[in-house]
Amino acid sequence: MLAARPAKAGSALRDMLAVTGRNLTSIRRVPQLLVFTLIQPVIFVVLFRYVMGGAIEVPGGSYVNYLIPGIFIQTVTFGALQTAIGMAADLKSGLLERFRSLPMSRAAVLAGRTTADLVRNIVVVALIAGVGFLVGFRVQTSAWEFIGGLAICILFSYVLSWVFATVGLLVGDPESAQAAAFPVMAPFVFASSAFVAVESMPDWLQGFARNQPVSVAASAVRALSIGQLPGGESTSSYVIRALLWCAGILVVMMPLAIARYRKTV
């Protein structure tokens, strides 16, 4: 008699895709959000490339080549905030409660959110690459290595979206999510190798700045884009460390996010 059929394992994928589609439609319907996500890195590019770039010395000589890989990572890191905001907004509006009352896969909401953000990040990274080339960034390695670098950047963004989905569920409303996330992000983004060489920082900061995930990811993308810098670590060392960070964060945050989701709604 029931119009609906019981949820099967196969339908989990269908649920996830439906939620992903819904999130992507939302992003498309509010293009302002995407525009602002993009304006910010452009400002950073202009600021560092033209305003401050002249005063910043980096190994390898060309600051624009040093900068753009850092901008990739900076953009996806700040962009991860959108995941927190989206999650918090769905929680606050009551949409998550409706989902909870439906016979759908429990994992679909988080998986759909992070997958939609993955798609969004691919678009964002492609656009930033375009901006980079426009201001004089040139790949010094092979096309394959550069694409590998972008892949690491996108993987990193996916990992972060699980972190910030948890933040969004914890905080519970979009404004607070925004306010809560920035102070956490800022030290990771700025005390990193994204914009300046770690060697230029005071000794006490270098240990953190060299090894924290944003730095490692930025260095890995940079190494894959412009090759090993004079006096720097090897490309493979950065890449392996970046992948380890991604795996480590994912292993911790995925269960945390799921546990939080089960508890929150």
Q: Which residues lie near another protein (CB under 8 A)?
A: 1-7, 11, 14-15, 18-19, 21-22, 25-26, 29-30, 93-95, 97-104, 108, 265
For the record, the structure tokens of 8 come out as: 């099967």
**Which is closer to another protein, CB of 91 or CB of 160?**
91
- Rounded distance, CA 262 to CA 76, Å? 27
- Rounded distance, CA 102 to CA 22, Å? 16
| Alpha helices by DSSP H, the chain | 9-29, 31-46, 63-79, 81-93, 95-101, 108-134, 143-171, 174-190, 203-211, 213-226, 235-264
**Which is closer to another protein, CB of 2 or CB of 55?**
2
**Which is closer to another protein, CB of 15 or CB of 163?**
15
Q: What torsion do the CA atoms of 259, 212, 150, 24 make, to the nearest 10 degrees? A: 30
Least distance CB 117 / another protein (angstroms): 15
Q: At what angle do helices 108-134 and 81-93 cross, to 10 degrees?
A: 140
Least distance CB 261 / another protein (angstroms): 12
Least distance CB 227 / another protein (angstroms): 44
Least distance CB 201 / another protein (angstroms): 43
Least distance CB 81 / another protein (angstroms): 18
* DSSP helix/strand/coil, 227: coil
**Which is closer to another protein, CB of 84 or CB of 96?**
96
Least distance CB 97 / another protein (angstroms): 5
**Which is closer to another protein, CB of 2 or CB of 143?**
2
What one-character DSSP code corresponds to residue 198?
G
* DSSP helix/strand/coil, 89: helix
**Which is closer to another protein, CB of 109 or CB of 150?**
109
**Which is closer to another protein, CB of 98 or CB of 138?**
98
DSSP string covering 69-98: HHHHHHHHHHHTHHHHHHHHHHHHHTHHHH
Least distance CB 260 / another protein (angstroms): 15
- Rounded distance, CA 58 to CA 56, Å? 6
Cβ–Cβ under 8 Å, residues 65 and 138:
yes
- Rounded distance, CA 52 to CA 43, Å? 12
